[in-house]
Amino acid sequence: MKFSTFTCLCAALAALSCACGPGQRACPPANTDIVLPGDESPHANDMEWWYYTGHLWTASGRRYGFELSFFQTFANNQVGYVGHFAVSDPQAGEHTYSQKIQAPPDIFPSFDIDIDDWNIHREGDSHRLRADMENFAIDLELVPQKPVVYHGKRGVIEMGGNMQSYYYSMTRMQVSGIMKVDGLDEAVTGLAWHDHQWGDFDAFASDGWDWFSLQLDDQTEVMIFVLHFKDQGPTLTGGTFVDADGCASTFDSFEARPIGEWTSPHTGGVYPMNWNLSIPSVGLDLLLTATVDDQEMDCRATTLNTYWEGEIEITGTRRGIDVGGLGYVELAGYGPWGPQG
């Protein structure tokens, strides 16, 4: 399914109050049933994923985008784990990715998850990531710079088919570590975003989704999650703005207008590409531009779908003041989608 433009006005999402003003440090206590760090660990639910996206700079100033995602599913009383790892190289105009799958006897008992030699885990106050593939490998430490953000209502969002998901993010994580590029170790620093979702839901209950994570250089962040349905069109299931002090509020009105589209030479999928984004309630008018058009992931061998997961650059204004930044966009349902046959 393809949309040339959409505007979401969803009165069902009530705005959360935020008592933080400019320069203040304390945010209102979170109103959620999610308990951390315990809920970082795997749950006995139908679907769960841990997502990391971010931007890495080498000592010479070259930038790379990265995605590392772990998925856990249950089917016929068997647990399965899938990993997706991707690196975008804007300077070379290239996107490289890999995928792995395994079925251990049981779920991992803590937030220390291995898929073959890939691993994600907590180490003190930081998260550690390790993954490798042809030409690239990462060994990174991610340290949260802001409080955890709980999306939707009490950290719960709709996922289609009257099913729900717990959902929280760490929207600004400082990164340091090593990235191996063509066999050579490069010290890197950077900025990352972490998503964690779980629940008894079917990822294919909708016809796909658009997801935006934006990290702006005025130290604010934006998350937008839009589900697609053939019978009702696009539906905003989560819209969150995080101010410079880490205080989160929801918004229920925005417009994202694609400027063009990109047709995959690999799968034939047609994806919207580059967006004018307006969020009136927080004064944002932005241009989102893909750093590489071809950032498609053909993961039918593991998660049964293809999707576009791409690094973007951001320019625009917030309340009339110039602002820039970086982010990631995920587009699902535009290429081959869902179980085949």
Q: Does some domain include residue 13?
A: no
Paired tokens of 55: 């931007």
pLDDT for res 148: 97
pLDDT value at residue 340: 60
Domain at 195, CATH number: 2.40.370.10
**54 within 8 A of 192, measured Cβ to Cβ:** yes
Is residue 8 in a domain? no
The answer to the question of residue 213 being in a domain is yes
Q: Which amino acid is at 210?
A: D
* pLDDT of 1: 31
Low-confidence ranges of the chain (pLDDT < 70): 1-25, 340-341
Cβ atoms of 229 and 2 within 8 Å: the answer is: no
In a domain, 278, yes or no: yes
Residue in the block written with tokens 């995605």? 67
Residue 339: its pLDDT value, please?
Answer: 74
Predicted local confidence at residue 25, as pLDDT: 60
Looking at the domain assignment, is residue 30 inside a domain? no
pLDDT at 75 (0 to 100): 81
User: For residue 24, what pLDDT is reported?
Assistant: 52
How many Cα neighbours within 13 Å face the side chain of 108? 23
The DSSP string of 67-114 is EEEEEEEEETTEEEEEEEEEEEETTTTEEEEEEEEE--SS--SSSEEE
Answer yes or no: is 108 within a domain. Answer: yes
pTM of the model: 0.92
The partner residues of 172 in beta bridges, in order of sequence, read none
- State how far the Cα of 217 lies from the Cα of 327, in Å rounded to an integer: 11
Is residue 203 assigned to a domain?
yes
Q: Which domain holds residue 263?
A: 47-332
The angle formed by the CA atoms of residues 64, 186 and 88, to the nearest 5 degrees, is: 15
63 vs 57: CA distance, rounded Å: 5
How does pLDDT run across 185-206, given as a tens digit for each residue?
999 999 999 999 999 999 999 9
Looking at the structure of the chain, the number of domains it has is 1
- For residue 104, what are its two tokens? 């251990």
CA 148 to chain centre: 14
* Any domain includes 282: yes
